[in-house]
Structure 1
Amino acid sequence: MERRRAILVRFDDICPTMNWEQWNRAVTVLERYNVKPLIGVIPDCQDEELLIDAPRPDFWQYIKDLQDKGYTVAMHGYLHKYDSATHGIVNVTPRSEFAGHSYEEQLEKIKQGKAVLEQHGIFTDIFFAPAHSYDENTLKALAVNGFKYVSDGASSRTFVREGVLCIPCRSGGCPKIGKKGYYTAVFHAHEWVRPEKADGYIQLEKLCEEYSKDIVSFEEYCKRPEGNAILQKLNEKGYLFYEYTVKPVLRPVVRPIKEFFSQRNNFKR
């Protein structure tokens, strides 16, 4: 029987030099509600923004321990360095570690990243790219390297693309949860020290408290109806067109209308 609602909790940018104080805050909440998230581990982080704390000496053993607890590990890029001024399939920002590079270059990056993980005893067939930025060559290179899943995409259903099952992730953060559907809540714990991102921790707490019965493991999250590839590509393009072209135009018009009716309702009370 298909679930009416399922939520996947995903954490990006897991690496030896991340902000451990903020990550430990996240883990406290996850353990309180017995939530087993999908965590994106960077094989060889060279992103200066993530060189925050001194490297944790037992990092790789720690990741293995999390796996033993039920956390699901994904490979999150390779170096987490944006060396391509190209946007990918589902984003518009012209920066990427993968999109825009040749198939051969991407094949080598993914091969090296996988080797780093396996050298430390971490085995996974799940991947997601930094900044949600990947292209068709990324997917082809992933399939050749034995990856089966990508936690990304803007389709309404999962579908196989270039030999890899794309698990939609329409949110760049914590989405608004409806009465039914599948939702991926994406968190970056190290960003919680920024005033404009501090509410990320509160969102995690609220999500786990209100929807703990609907939060599932990555394995269960994948057990959802698969869509037709052609239809899902069209669905994805339609969604992206609305998000990046139509919505920005509508927003300045819709906001005043919402504020007017909100004030009107408050006045009636």
Structure 2
Amino acid sequence: MARFLSRFLPRRLRSDHIEIPVVRLHGAIMTGGAQFRPTLSLATTAGVLEKAFAEKDAPAVALSVNSPGGSPVQSRLIFRRIRDLAEEKNKKVYVFVEDVAASGGYMIAVAGDEIIADPSSILGSIGVVSASFGFQDLIKKIGVERRVYTAGKNKVALDPFQPEKKSDVEHLKRLQLEVHETFINLVKERRGAALADDPDLFTGLFWSGEKALSLGLIDGLGDMRSHLRREYGPKTRLKLIQQPRGLLGWRTPSVGGLHKSDALAQAAAGATEGLLSAIEEKALWSRYGL
């Protein structure tokens, strides 16, 4: 009877269990992305993070991270939002790495006060990469003449339809080094003295969970349920926090007020953007054999 009546008490007055909100941060980190394959950005994560940290009776928030990285800007924005909410709500943050937390995925992971990974998880890749193609010979071969008009001599820097220029590459390298330094400083700030003195730590290499533990990139090996039950007791419950979804389990963009041809054009543009995003995302995952 007492157990039955306890259901009607406010959660703060119940002594039988602690409930920990869980947020899944899974996917490549980029703005946009395909409609039915969500990606990570501040826009897609801010709402669910706010909801998780708003759980007044929870002593902590657990984040499940599975990301190969992507946009350094979005990675840092998500990191910053997690830390701001943790400090504002006075909650501990646990990060549990699944398959991979690499590059921007690891940047998000270091928002955790504790990082726990599976022994076979992939972590690290603390570096910056840019990739492109050169099409100048291809367009000549197929008889295409490209015409570009600019105001500003550097507006077509790194144009894939023109021969690569040494000055453009040097400028890109300077930008990469600045972004890389920001990443390194963030990791040092969050991991501090736990980091091993290893010359390869910030070279862009990535490691298994076992090796990452010895390098100080994580705090332990294990899984979410077991770890949180050890921390808060065997009756600890996990509460998955999700964004509200539509009738079929996804959000369908509204085309109300659009002419049929405009709606079709919008759908076609969205499909093209989704395809390009899918290719980019696949390239990110494939770097880690996934």
Return the index of the structure with the highest Cα Rg: 2
- What TM-score results when the alignment is normalised by the length of structure 1? 0.34
